[in-house]
Structure 1
């Protein structure tokens, strides 16, 4: 044990002679900051897709199709074309569809609107985002896209409001995206 103490003392004295306190603090700070940056580096996550998580990224939610060539996309994915201004949980993941509320909930008559481009025909459509109300929040498939979102001073085009007004219950469950019609061209 005594020889271990002497070796440690000898190494410590040699390091003290060759380095300064500032240099040691600089090295320590660099290691500390560099270590904190490691989680920010890009990581290949390709191997995780085979672990029960579908390509849309929501565990336990199978990808869907509308079945209509003129309405392409997966209604359980935030990338679905109708969801360009949605903020909330997708009803298509909560027992409803992109057009209808889950059983036991009520569609709010007060909505916000957005204009989204359909990739099938490259036309812009007016989309009414209706909240479904009456049950506790679904908690599945949260999307927050703000492509057509306006400030709170324009509430009809703002997606940050609880739109469960005019229903029996003001408890938010999920959101739908109903096509109202074709948008006028400029």
Structure 2
């Protein structure tokens, strides 16, 4: 009798159907659990910033988790300088900001082509003191591109930056200086007093 049960093809089919049903159920459960597992892992590792931002509900900003990479025990003064090597206006909207290392910051520079002709220009940044250069991280900057401006055209460009928390603790002030010059045009010589300081 037992031999007949073992050779019954229906019994084998039922076992196969049962296994397939179990596999489908496990796969469905795994797929259903993937989203919360993914969010939990990414939140723990801090690599899913967009997902965290999407889950913020208006009016609950005060309950948002703080950025633990910001060093609130230190304040750095960042000074902004602008040098226009030509007949145009170029300046930052603010002369300085008080920032914490690791904090995301934005400053806006204003530019106006005061000439009666089209010009192409680009800005080159420099930093003081020199050791701050490696710790001044620009995420967005007009200095990344060359721009063409019409006569009398004005532009406002943001610089989005973060000061690396690894900045040496003895650095209290950083100066970000831009020199804006015309590309392919006659660049006026630097003022005599600045010749030695230009690299």
Give 1 or 2: higher helix fraction: 2
Give 1 or 2: higher strand fraction: 2
Smaller-chain TM-score range? 0.3 to 0.5
Structure 1 or 2, whichever has the larger Rg, is 2
Superposition TM-score, scaled by structure 2 size: 0.32
